[in-house]
Structure 1
């Protein structure tokens, strides 16, 4: 197995573990474990790029991983719709319509990025910026809940390790189909990694409290 393939597999493995644990604790604790805006961008990115990937390339390990993530994101979305309003406490109609509106806008954003930047590069930049946003949004979620509801060290660590693996692959080593390494991705991924480490520290701190 080449180093590039290994890093791709590790990214898929680490993030899949994080997704699985978000689903597990969400169902067990009757909550949702991923900030909704990040979930919306994740889900629409994976739907859009998985469909486009299979249409353009057919079977590929990256498309297969993305398809698995689509299913997992839909399960996380289920926990959000089932338990999310217990945190927000707004009128149910506003909660559901507002959430659906955000998902639709997120999908249009993915489409626009794909049209403007091209399908491949657009997918890369959108994924890394969305990943950074997710990491940033985990911090206020942590402080807002004042406990570890929907959050675990496993989620924190595997989210961070997945970020590290894909940043090394795309930003430092480079992928031929992307024209080699992309230095700007190194900075975005590096910043995301720093935020992820901060989140790990916060979760550790609360676990020990």
Structure 2
């Protein structure tokens, strides 16, 4: 097993742990545990690239990982639709209209990026930008809420490790199908990792203060 495959498996495993922890925390705390804009973009990315990836490469390991992520994101979406409006405070009709509109726009954006950049390049760039946005929105969620409701050290740490693994794989070592390492992806990835690490620090510090 080569290093690139190991990094891909680490990324797949730790982001899967992140999604499981997000869904579990959301169900436990009766809230949504992933900011909805990030969730919507992430879900549309996974569905789009699972379908396109299967059509392009069959059941490649990346396609199998995307299938797992899609199923886990569906569970996270369930927690959002079940508990999200408690925090947002909209009437039911407006809440569903707003949420479904964001989801539809997210799918349109994924299709546009895939059309403009191609399947592989589009998936990589969209995925890294979505991950960066998610990291920023997790920190916003931390400051928005007066407690750690919907947040945990496991979520923060697992996402951070997953981010580091995929950044090294794509931005440092490089993937042949992408023409080798991509400097811009390396920069985006390491900025995201720094933000993730800061989020780990914030959650850890809050837990120590709480105890």
TM-score by length of 2: 0.98
Q: Please give the alpha-carbon distance, in whole angstroms, between the structure 1 residues aligned to 2:159 and 2:32.
A: 16
Give how far 1:144 is off: 1.0
Q: Please give the alpha-carbon distance, in whole angstroms, between the structure 2 residues aligned to 1:106 and 1:208.
A: 37
Aligned length: 209
1:179-190 correspondence runs (5 A): 179-190=179-190
What do residues 100-155 of structure 1 show as CA deviations (whole Å, max 9, x unaligned)? 00000000000000011111101100000000000000011001111111110000
Partner in structure 2 of residue 72 of structure 1: 72
Partner in structure 2 of residue 174 of structure 1: 174
Which structure 1 residue ranges, 4+ long, deviate > 2 Å from structure 2? none
1:148 lines up with 2:143 in the alignment: no
Q: Please give the alpha-carbon distance, in whole angstroms, between the structure 1 residues aligned to 2:137 and 2:101.
A: 19
Partner in structure 1 of residue 51 of structure 2: 51
1:46-195 correspondence runs (5 A): 46-195=46-195
Q: Which sections of structure 2, spanning at least 5 residues, go unmatched?
A: none
Q: Please give the alpha-carbon distance, in whole angstroms, between the structure 2 residues aligned to 1:23 and 1:118.
A: 31
SS at 1:141 equivalent: helix
Q: Please give the alpha-carbon distance, in whole angstroms, between the structure 2 residues aligned to 1:37 and 1:145.
A: 17
SS at 1:84 equivalent: helix
SS at 2:63 equivalent: helix
1:24-39 correspondence runs (5 A): 24-39=24-39
What do residues 24-81 of structure 1 show as CA deviations (whole Å, max 9, x unaligned)? 1111111111000000000000000000000111011100000000000010000000
TM-score by length of 1: 0.99
The root-mean-square deviation of aligned C-alpha atoms, in Å, is 0.5
